[in-house]
Structure 1
Amino acid sequence: MCAYVLVAEDDEMQAELIRRSLLLEGHTAGVVHDGRSALDEVRRGRPDLIVLDLMLPVIDGYGVCRALRQDDDIPILMLTARSTEDDVLLGLELGADDYMTKPYSPRELMARIRTVLRRSRRQGTGRAASPVVRAAGLAVDPERHEVHCDGSPVECTPGEYEILLAMASEPGRVFSRRQLLQCTRGIDRASTERAVDAHIMNLRRKIEPDPRRPVRLLTVFGVGYKLNGERL
């Protein structure tokens, strides 16, 4: 799975280490050292994924993520030296697909990149066509990797898409945070289950008439979440 990956990292040694690791994986890589250059390169070079450091000069990683999510669904893997849960959740709320805290191993970073790319490319692989999944006014198309709500397209990050596909496939079923975490990130790494809450909050903004009073994506207190199984 060869991809063009943009590395936005102000530490030149770290950026070069990531670039070399990507080349060894068979990818091509671009490197920028500030947030403004990252936005310019995304719009010029159309990378398949961006590895985004939060502590960038000019525009920080949060600002880059916020700007990209206004009109782009490029997968974003955040790198941060801030290890508090609130910092991580803020990145996810802005639309990041995954994150890693520093220090990290290049081997694990490459594994995460493979996972995010795989999620974002589950179409056009020659598999038998999968039926569109419909529930609660949503239509989730596994082949085209598209989501529609009441007939209107919904832009989802790969993680948000995986949550909706899982829940729409079994409307009315209650999913725990851990189960949804497995849908979006796999079970091979430690992570906070509260990260799922950030994805749910983003999805409610996109599919609910009033995100403060959800009728589609419901909370089951003390357990997790479910997609409304009733006809809306």
Structure 2
Amino acid sequence: MDFVNILVVEDEKNISDVIEAYLIKEEFNVFSASDGEMALEFFNSEDIHLIILDLMIPKISGEELCKRIRTTSDVPIIMLTAKTHEDDRIEGLSIGADDYVLKPFSPRELVSRVKALLRRSYPNSRPVAEKLSFNSGDLEIEVDKMIVRKNNEDINLTTNEFKILLTFISHQNQVLSREQLIELSFGQDYDGFDRTIDTHIKNIRYKIESNSKSPEYIHTIYGSGYKFTVKKQ
């Protein structure tokens, strides 16, 4: 995928402008709609690859718009809402949303979720970043080929381990809980136990760290989760 068209449906201009600015910085093409009718027009006339959809929008509600789109398309949808009740989140996912972000939110986290959802939804397309290198080439990753190298030697990660590693890389220097790692790596429908993350991370450390007992990449933040850090180049 040489370009990605993202439709942002948000009636609060200040929020829409911030989202658009962060997405454009990542070289996405952005279409902005301030109500449901305008969003539907964009969706029917443009090749949209992902939708960021606020639930509280004029003319056609976010829920109704999602239902209409789902009758004809499986385009990835991230819902934005100030509704914090669990039932609202479950309803949003049940009518076809792929991810659910509560307001207020971090624009950087939203962009990371966009990238993660695009990778899951278009696995055969060119990823946003194809090659990554850390600590002067100590750790190298070819994302599209799922190749990981340590000191120029290929190492074998399972598919789940690779997904978790990409999540860490997308959230460098951020503390991620087990629940966040599961959601960002595998999506809302993952039915594994959160403690399985510990096993995956143990295996990843064994493969990418020079000394897994004294890791330089994946650090345990006791009581909170894990954090991926790299040396400044």
The reply to whether TM is greater than 0.5 is yes
The reply on whether 1:79 has 2:42 as its aligned counterpart is no
TM-score normalised by structure 1 residue count: 0.56
Report SS of the residue matched to 1:115. helix
- Taking the aligned partners of 2:96 and 2:7, their CA distance within structure 1 comes to 17
Q: CA deviation at 1:186?
A: 2.0
1:99 aligns with 2:100: yes
| C-alpha separation in 1, matches of 2:106 and 2:4 | 20
Counterparts of 1:1-232 in structure 2, within 5 Å, are: 2-124=3-125, 182=182, 185-186=184-185, 196=189
In 1, Cα distance between the equivalents of 2:87 and 2:70? 20
Quote the Cα distance in structure 2 between the aligned partners of 1:111 and 1:92.
19
For 1:51, what is the secondary structure of its paired residue? strand
Q: Deviations over 1:136-168 (max 9, x none)?
A: xxxxxxxxxxxxxxxxxxxxxxxxxxxxxxxxx
Counterpart CA distance in 2 for 1:123 and 1:111 is 19
Deviation at 1:89, TM superposition (A): 0.7
Write the letter of the residue equivalent to 1:18: I
Deviations 1:88-141 (A, max 9, x none): 11010001000100000111000000011111110255759xxxxxxxxxxxxx
TM-score with structure 2 setting the length: 0.55
Alignment-derived partner of residue 130 in structure 2? none
- Aligned AA for 1:11? E
TM-superposed CA distance for 1:2, in Å, is 4.0
Letter in 1 for 2:21: R
* Counterpart Cα distance in 2 of 1:124 and 1:80: 29
Q: Secondary structure of the residue that 1:122 maps to in structure 2?
A: coil
Separation in 1, partners of 2:91, 2:99: 12
Q: Distance in 2 between matches of 1:50 and 1:63?
A: 14
Give the Cα separation in 1 of the matches to 2:184 and 2:78: 12
Q: In 1, Cα distance between the equivalents of 2:125 and 2:60?
A: 35
**Structure 1 portions without partners, runs of 5+:** 129-177, 201-232
* One-letter amino acid of the counterpart of residue 119, structure 1: R
* Alpha-carbon distance in structure 1 between the residues aligned to 2:77 and 2:63: 11
Number of equivalent positions: 142
Q: Describe the superposition over 1:15-55 as per-residue Cα deviations: whole angstroms up to 9, x where unpaired.
A: 01111000111111010000111111111112110100000
Q: How many angstroms apart in 2 are the aligned matches of 1:27 and 1:124?
A: 15
* Closer/same/farther in 2, CA of residues 57 and 185 from structure 1, 3 Å limit: same
- CA change 1:3–1:91 in 2 (3 A) is same
Q: Which runs of 4+ in 1 moved over 6 A?
A: none
Equivalent residue letter for 1:186: S
